[in-house]
Structure 1
Amino acid sequence: MSLIFEEFDDIADLAEGLDDPSPGGRIMAVIELADSADPAAIPYLARAIKDDDAGVRKQAAQALTDFDGPDTAAALVGALGDVEAAVRDAAAISLTELKDPAAGDSILPLLDSSDDYTLMACLAGIKELRRPEARVPATQALTHANPSVRVQAVGVIGWLQNEDSLTDLKSATADPETAVRKAAVLALGFSKAETAQCTLMAALTDPDWQVREAAAETLSKSGGPACIPALRRVLEDDFWQVRLKAVRSLGRLDAKETAVEIGPMMSLPIPNLRKECAAVLGELAVPDTRQFLLPYVDDADPDVRKNVRWALEKMAAA
């Protein structure tokens, strides 16, 4: 059987469809230009994103997701002011797919925008581009009245991974909005500095379980031996999701002294938690904890059974 590959026409020929009198015809032209994956299609898609028909503009904004670079960013940034929400949303999503740092040139000037939507979209778009110039406006946005803007600002600061920003991230962990505090806690994962660890340990007592869960998880990256006592206390948290992350972090910190506290958690009725406990007990490989695993060799959950048997084999080998 032979495979037949579609051969794309010249980009200029495909672009002729953008002059079709019907919106449907112009949408098909946009789709064909996107399918070409040819950077030469970018100027034509930038033209389509200004079409009279909202459907064509939305399709063009979506199509630009598959392209990168300054010209793509410029077209998408322009669409953030579209009168149709669907077009704005498509452009904002495509902005987050940019990977070329040079694309940030079109985004940076809008990081002081007075429009909440534009500011939020531009912060989200420049985050993964890691442009150092974004740090100052992102720090200023931490006090913005809109919590969605503050969440995106935290993301920008976290991706820059600058130790000088630890104080700002610490302040964000005290934000009145749960989503902002959670984002700040997760953003601290790049640093093993004492400030980061102390901030994360404090977040283990946050009133919202989602923040506590994020703190327990992040300590697996940023934590050290000094964090073990705080994580041990979280093993009694009211929410199993928080306990699960604490167990995982204790395993990665090789906290063998906590194995006897993790073992009894195998009797809890949450399969995901039992699975994690079994895995960590295997990683810690403390022989005295075999007693907690043996009753679950034939657990009703296949993932639990798998981890229990693996953990017992690990202990036997040790």
Structure 2
Amino acid sequence: MPWSTKIGVIIMVLLLDSPLLSAGESVGLDSEKKPTAAIASIRDRCHSILKEAMASEEAFVRSGAMRAAGDSKDPELIPLLEKGSRDFYPTTRLFAVQGIQKISKDHTKTIARKLIEDSNMWVRIAALDILSELGDGDSREAIRSMLKAPDRMVRLAAAFALYRLGELEYLEEIIDSLRGGDVVNRYQAISYLGKIRTDKTLGHLVRLLDEKEDEIVSYSLKAIGERADIELLRPLERLSRHANPRVRQQAVLEMGYLPPQAAIEKLKPFCADQDPMVKLSAAIAIHRAGGGDCQNVFAESIHHSDFGVRSSSARILGDIAIAQRPQLLATALRDPNSRVRTAAVRATGMMGGAAAFQLLIPMLEDSQLVIRAYAAGSLLKLLK
């Protein structure tokens, strides 16, 4: 049975008696029109929820609406995202431009060009990053003007943007930012080096693994990402025994990118680590390396007493295709903590397929408007 047909069957089962369809809509329709009417009703309901969320007086709800609208990849929501890019709350503006990037390159350029002059530093940095990612050479001089911005982080973002646009001499400015000064600037520079995939940048990141500052080590591990190779085995083993669980967690994650024959056996002991996030990272890394061990950790994490662990576990299920994923997400969607349910809704949308559709429909009735908005965005993506 084709996937679209399965969706139609699920819609029929779930919605013919659902409040999403009024009595007038569900009576008098022949069998061919009922699935179409149900889909149209769901789309209308999702759009209404997102508009309601964007009209909320609570800034975090409006911000969630923008992120959800981006998740939907629905061109009909471009006007709503454009409205969000003018919101007085900076996070809403930030999520709006990031969201519209998933839908329309041209609209994204228009908005990002305006936002490089935004009053908020983080919005300006994001706009610079987006314009360079899109290869917007027409914005080169506007980006260059940001090299004189009062905020050092904006200046560094402009240097990175110009590097991306082909002005390779700005790499040295990014590297110079590693050598001391404000620690936040160092984090920013490390992140940029992670996006510049050359042997030179990798070498700088590897050298940072010997730093005394734990957060610098953790950021550097994350920036190395999938570029980790067998030469990093010993440094990663050393860092996996670090006293700081955040460093251990990131080192264990990185080991998942090593050749399976070198990584899996070394990762298994971490599935019993005293820190729940290290345990979860070990299970992720083993799955990433192609192993089937430690699958029980995902279930343990989704039931953990700490909502932060449950939230992280739900979030990662959007990327990890394990057999029990639908069941674990169903558990997370019923979690009493709204952050866990939010993570689970977005992960369910990432999972996709008929199972995701069935799980998301009830979330349109969640008690929290922001969660209803995320469910709406995910459903719209599935209905494309």
| 2:300 counterpart of 1:302 | yes
**3-state SS of 1:176 partner:** coil
Question: Is the CA contact (8 Å cut-off) linking 1:192 and 1:223 kept in structure 2?
Answer: no
For the residues of structure 1 that align with 2:180 and 2:147, how far apart are their CA atoms?
9
Which of 175, 198, 223 lines up with 1:193 in the alignment?
198
State the match for 2:106 in structure 1.
Answer: 102
State the match for 1:127 in structure 2.
Answer: 129
Give the CA deviation at 1:201: 0.9
For the residues of structure 2 that align with 1:64 and 1:110, how far apart are their CA atoms?
16
Give the CA deviation at 1:193: 2.0
Q: Structure 1: state its 5+ residue gaps.
A: 8-31, 39-44, 49-54, 81-85, 287-292, 305-318
Could you give the per-residue CA deviations for residues 264-300 of structure 1, whole angstroms, max 9, x where no partner exists?
66675223324544665788799xxxxxx9xx9999x
State the match for 1:249 in structure 2.
Answer: 254
Please tell me whether Structure 1 or Structure 2 has the larger radius of gyration of its CA atoms. 1
Question: Is the CA contact (8 Å cut-off) linking 2:254 and 2:285 kept in structure 1?
Answer: no
State the match for 1:68 in structure 2.
Answer: 78
For the residues of structure 1 that align with 2:289 and 2:95, how far apart are their CA atoms?
42
Give the CA deviation at 1:215: 1.5
What is the one-letter code of the residue matched to 1:216? L
**3-state SS of 1:173 partner:** coil
Give the CA deviation at 1:242: 0.8
Question: What does 1:218-297 correspond to in 2, within 5 Å?
Answer: 218-254=223-259, 268-277=273-282
Question: What does 1:37-56 correspond to in 2, within 5 Å?
Answer: none
For the residues of structure 1 that align with 2:285 and 2:64, how far apart are their CA atoms?
43
Question: Is the CA contact (8 Å cut-off) linking 1:154 and 1:187 kept in structure 2?
Answer: no
Question: Is the CA contact (8 Å cut-off) linking 1:259 and 1:281 kept in structure 2?
Answer: yes
For the residues of structure 1 that align with 2:120 and 2:222, how far apart are their CA atoms?
31
Give the CA deviation at 1:170: 2.7
Which of 8, 22, 29 lines up with 1:4 in the alignment?
22
Are the structure 2 counterparts of residues 276 and 157 from structure 1 closer, same or farther at C-alpha, using a change threshold of 3 Å? farther
Could you give the per-residue CA deviations for residues 142-176 of structure 1, whole angstroms, max 9, x where no partner exists?
77543553576588579x59794654443343463
Are the structure 2 counterparts of residues 157 and 285 from structure 1 closer, same or farther at C-alpha, using a change threshold of 3 Å? same
Question: Is the CA contact (8 Å cut-off) linking 2:191 and 2:223 kept in structure 1?
Answer: yes
Question: Is the CA contact (8 Å cut-off) linking 2:97 and 2:112 kept in structure 1?
Answer: no
Identity across matched positions, percent: 13
What is the one-letter code of the residue matched to 2:300? P
Q: CA RMSD in A?
A: 5.3
Are the structure 2 counterparts of residues 177 and 162 from structure 1 closer, same or farther at C-alpha, using a change threshold of 3 Å? farther
**3-state SS of 2:256 partner:** helix
TM-score (norm: length of structure 2): 0.45
Give the CA deviation at 1:207: 4.2
